[in-house]
């Protein structure tokens, strides 16, 4: 077992072989492609955007995916719904919807400003970035989950990289606005890791796992009761915004954390956060599946 673990940690992931890659003859599909666009060019589709601000304690959407049921209802009455991780994620719980475009927040901002375009894609190659500050046992767990997504779900995670310096994530709540925010002390280390993946493996999307400081349990009591602020959300958004702004490719983020002690006083709105922290990377890479099957490529208009 130790030898197998060492092998997983030491090798870059290779893309699975693609058979008949030079055959251009179209083959019938078992099911129609996932898209927000119709074949009927005379019809103008109704597109809606759903946004819930991150880290502000929104009564719906301020916790662990509690806006997802709203997004499901809204997607049933529009042709195409465009939304973002704060709406569509519930820790590692997720509900795929064929007419929903999953767009990172910075890209969604630029789209709303009319500066960037969004285009559904068939498949992106995904690279995984791990913070050098993640302890060895947590890193192994995250890599094992990533291997599982490749073997069991066939996700195109082609390579991982570890930052050359710990990112040193800091988070706090702004005393004036009440919004969660933060910073990473070494953003250049993150950008170098992403750049290496883009150059070496030509990845089209990136999943980032940063080591977050473990909270004192008392500091999380309000959030776990469904009345507080998500103290992770603000700096998570800062991390993904940084990558998307620099490289104009989709980016998703998950925190690496130590497990919280068990509590019986837990709001259903926050319950998804109690799942094993290693499993958060599973959702992170499932987001890559959504990117692959219908999210976005990003380009300037």
> Strand (E) positions, the chain?
47-49, 80-83, 100-102, 116-119, 126-130, 157-162, 169-173, 180-184, 205-211, 251-256, 297-300
Question: pLDDT by residue (tens digit) across 101-145?
Answer: 888 999 999 999 999 988 877 777 899 999 999 999 889 888 988
pTM of the predicted structure, to 2 decimals: 0.76
Question: pLDDT by residue (tens digit) across 192-224?
Answer: 999 999 999 999 899 999 998 887 556 666 666
Asked if residues 60 and 72 have their Cβ atoms less than 8 Å apart, the reply is no
Note the pLDDT of residue 252: 87
Residue 87 C-alpha from the chain's centroid: 12
The rounded distance, in Å, linking the Cα atoms of 164 and 38 is 45
Supply the mean pLDDT for the chain.
Answer: 76
Give all domains of the chain, ordered by start, each with its CATH number: 47-119 (no CATH), 123-293 (3.40.50)
DSSP 298: E
- Residue 182, sorted as left (phi over 0), alpha (psi -120 to 50) or beta, turns out to be left
Closest to 275 in 3D by CA, of 65, 58, 138, 90: 90
Question: pLDDT by residue (tens digit) across 72-105?
Answer: 999 999 999 999 888 887 766 778 888 998 889 9
Question: pLDDT by residue (tens digit) across 1-30?
Answer: 433 333 343 345 544 443 333 333 444 444
Note the pLDDT of residue 72: 94
């Amino acid at each position: 077992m130790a030898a197998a673990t060492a092998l997983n940690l030491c090798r870059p992931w290779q893309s699975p072989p693609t058979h008949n890659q030079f055959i251009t003859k179209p083959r019938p599909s078992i099911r129609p492609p996932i898209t927000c666009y119709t074949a009927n060019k005379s019809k103008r589709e109704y597109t809606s955007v759903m946004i819930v601000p991150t880290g502000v304690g929104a009564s719906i959407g301020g916790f662990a995916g509690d806006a997802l049921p709203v997004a499901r209802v809204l997607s049933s009455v529009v042709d195409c719904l465009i939304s973002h991780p704060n709406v569509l994620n519930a820790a590692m719980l997720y509900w795929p919807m064929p007419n929903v475009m999953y767009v990172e927040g910075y890209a969604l901002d630029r789209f709303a400003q009319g500066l960037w375009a969004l285009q559904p894609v068939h498949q992106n190659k995904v690279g995984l970035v791990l913070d050098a500050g993640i302890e060895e046992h947590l890193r192994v767990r995250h890599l094992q989950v990533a291997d599982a997504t490749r073997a069991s779900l066939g996700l195109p995670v082609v390579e991982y990289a570890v930052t050359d310096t710990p990112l040193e994530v800091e988070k706090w709540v702004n005393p004036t606005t009440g919004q969660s925010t933060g910073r990473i002390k070494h953003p250049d280390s993150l950008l170098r890791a992403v750049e290496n993946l883009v150059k070496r493996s030509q990845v089209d999307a990136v999943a980032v796992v940063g080591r977050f400081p473990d909270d004192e349990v008392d500091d999380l009591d309000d959030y776990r009761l469904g009345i507080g602020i998500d103290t992770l959300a603000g700096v998570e958004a800062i991390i993904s915004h940084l990558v998307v702004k620099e490289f104009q490719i989709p980016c998703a983020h998950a925190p690496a954390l130590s497990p919280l002690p068990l509590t019986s006083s837990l709001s259903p709105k926050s319950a998804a956060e109690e799942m094993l922290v290693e499993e958060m990377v599973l959702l992170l890479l499932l987001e890559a599946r959504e990117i692959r099957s219908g999210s976005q490529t990003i380009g300037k208009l």
